[in-house]
């Protein structure tokens, strides 16, 4: 359950939010476009409702420099 996630579990989402701030993207639409993924996928990922597919993780990693393994981390 997303509300019970620890700070460690939120690390991949936090890394994407940090990338968003660094690059000056004001909206999730801008961020999703910059990362090469759909806005709804990004939104669900950032809200802890779903993980990224391997393909999406590679796209995000390529654009943001965040390691794929971090993006796919389940927070176990």
Show the 3-state SS of the chain: CHHHCCCHHHHHHHHHHHHHHHHCCCCHHHHHHHHCCCHHHHHHHHCCCCCCCHHHHHHHHHHHCCCHHHHHCCCC
Class of domain 9-72: mainly alpha
Q: Is the pTM of this model over 0.85?
A: no
6-25 tens-digit pLDDT: 444 457 788 999 999 999 98
The pLDDT assigned to 29 comes to: 94
20-61 tens-digit pLDDT: 999 998 899 999 999 999 999 999 999 989 999 999 999 999
Domain ranges of the chain: 9-72
User: pLDDT band at residue 73, thresholds of 50, 70 and 90?
Assistant: confident
Judge whether residue 76 has pLDDT over 80: no
Tell me if 32 sits within 8 A of 38, measured CB to CB: yes
Closest listed residue to residue 41, CA positions, set 57, 27, 26: 57
């Amino acid at each position: 359950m997303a509300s019970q996630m620890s700070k460690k579990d939120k690390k991949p989402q936090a890394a994407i939010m940090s990338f968003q701030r660094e690059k000056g993207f004001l909206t999730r639409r801008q961020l999703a476009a910059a990362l090469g993924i759909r806005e709804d996928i990004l939104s669900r990922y950032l809200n802890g409702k779903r993980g990224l597919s391997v393909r999406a993780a590679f796209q995000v990693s390529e654009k943001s420099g965040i390691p794929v393994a971090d993006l796919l981390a389940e927070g176990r």
